[in-house]
């Protein structure tokens, strides 16, 4: 019997699978020493060998340019630390908090905005820290929603997830539990019946937000994993990151959004890539992102339209940065073909 495929966790593993050439191993080892590497079998199988521009490879295979600091880049690009009153909690917005249960992921994205904070051996919240984080939530009745993130919370066992969800479900003022994850696409086998049960809480709304960036990620097994969640009554949304060479053309981005909707997943956010260290080669300009959103508008169903957002550096939160179709005085409005039309005065 052949051995079950395992996650690739180093440059030597990538070389053995022909995902990087031997002559680049030494160079890329320096990248891997600083930023974690992990590519699951599901993602490794999608990469076109020998294609340096493969959109899946660009997301997961290390690149020497990651060691080059770009203008304005910072280790905490969206300012989590400034809004972390206790370990594991980020409280930036009044009615919701992030609860970072774990600092590990099934895969490590080369553009990750928490790349300085996640990786093997980083662990998760200790029982004492988790208790303090839960006490923080219990003591603040304005917290209506708790977002489980990390790392990726779905790398935890079903038992540990159920414990965390149960604790949150017992807090009367917490009405919504949202889970941010990449697991259904990168490790769909983890979405077991036990894990699905662990995410459900009586009299609470649970949402799962899937991170996917390219339509090829939504293969048969990924779609089945998402269906297991949705069929169990857990609505799904998506978040994607706009990435150069991955999804920065209207055809690919539109195909991704359609694939998500076909899976019964509502596109939620398209993130402008954050100013994480060593990621300049993967970022587009905001103008390019706005042009892509214009290209989607009117040509793809309204169900396929995410909000294009920018996380303002230093912790000031997300702002929508999509194109504007209305003149400043409200007298003319553009249609999806770029033609302008007069709109009657309202007063």
pTM for the model: 0.95
- Between the CA of residue 326 and those of 304, 345, 346, what are the distances in Å? 21, 13, 14
Exposure of 199 in the CB half-sphere (CA atoms within 13 A): 29
Helices (H) then strands (E): counts for the chain: 11, 11
**CA dihedral sign of residues 24, 27, 31, 34:** positive
Question: How many CA atoms lie less than 13 Å away from 194 in the CB half-sphere?
Answer: 9
pLDDT (tens, 9 = 90+) of the chain, 347 residues, equals: 455 689 999 999 999 999 999 999 999 999 999 999 999 999 999 998 878 789 999 999 999 999 998 999 999 999 999 999 999 999 999 999 999 999 999 999 999 999 988 887 777 899 999 999 999 999 999 999 999 998 999 999 999 999 999 999 999 999 999 999 999 999 999 999 999 999 999 999 999 999 999 999 999 999 999 999 999 999 999 999 999 999 999 999 999 999 999 999 999 999 999 999 999 999 999 999 999 999 999 999 999 999 999 999 989 999 999 999 999 889 999 999 999 999 998 77
Specify the DSSP class assigned to residue 83: G
- For residues 337 and 19, what is the distance between their CA atoms, to the nearest angstrom? 42
Instruction: Name the DSSP letter for residue 53.
Output: T
Residue 212: closest CA among 173, 270, 168: 270
Which positions are annotated as active-site residues?
A: 92-93, 96, 105, 109, 112, 114, 274, 311, 318
């Amino acid at each position: 019997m052949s051995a079950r495929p395992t996650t690739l966790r180093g440059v030597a593993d990538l070389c053995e699978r022909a995902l990087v050439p031997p002559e680049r191993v030494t160079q890329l080892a320096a990248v891997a020493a600083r930023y974690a590497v992990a590519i699951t079998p599901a993602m490794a199988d999608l990469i076109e060998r020998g294609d340096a521009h493969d959109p899946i490879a660009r997301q997961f295979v290390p690149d020497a340019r990651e060691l080059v600091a770009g203008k304005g880049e910072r280790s905490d690009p969206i300012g989590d630390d400034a809004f972390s009153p206790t370990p594991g909690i980020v409280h930036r917005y009044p009615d919701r908090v992030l609860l970072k249960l774990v600092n590990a992921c099934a895969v490590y994205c080369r553009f990750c905005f928490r790349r300085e904070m996640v990786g093997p051996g980083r662990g998760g919240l200790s029982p004492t820290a988790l208790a303090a984080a839960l006490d923080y939530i219990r003591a603040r009745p304005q917290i209506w929603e708790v977002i489980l993130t990390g790392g990726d919370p779905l790398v935890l066992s079903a038992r540990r997830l159920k414990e965390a969800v149960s604790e949150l479900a017992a807090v009367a003022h917490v009405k919504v539990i949202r889970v941010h994850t990449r697991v259904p696409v990168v490790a769909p086998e983890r979405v077991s019946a036990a894990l699905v049960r662990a995410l459900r809480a009586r009299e609470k709304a649970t949402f799962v937000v899937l991170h996917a960036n390219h339509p090829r990620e939504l293969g048969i097994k990924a779609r089945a994993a998402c269906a297991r969640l949705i069929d169990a009554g857990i609505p799904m949304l998506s978040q994607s990151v706009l990435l150069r060479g991955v999804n920065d053309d209207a055809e690919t981005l539109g195909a991704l959004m359609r694939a998500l909707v076909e899976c019964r997943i509502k596109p939620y956010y398209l993130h402008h890539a954050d100013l994480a260290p060593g990621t300049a080669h993967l970022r587009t300009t905001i103008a390019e992102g706005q042009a892509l959103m214009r290209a989607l508008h009117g040509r793809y169903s309204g169900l396929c339209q995410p909000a294009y957002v920018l996380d303002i550096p230093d912790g000031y939160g997300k702002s929508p940065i999509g194109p504007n179709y209305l003149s400043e005085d409200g007298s003319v409005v553009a249609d999806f073909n770029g033609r302008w039309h007069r709109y009657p005065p309202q007063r």
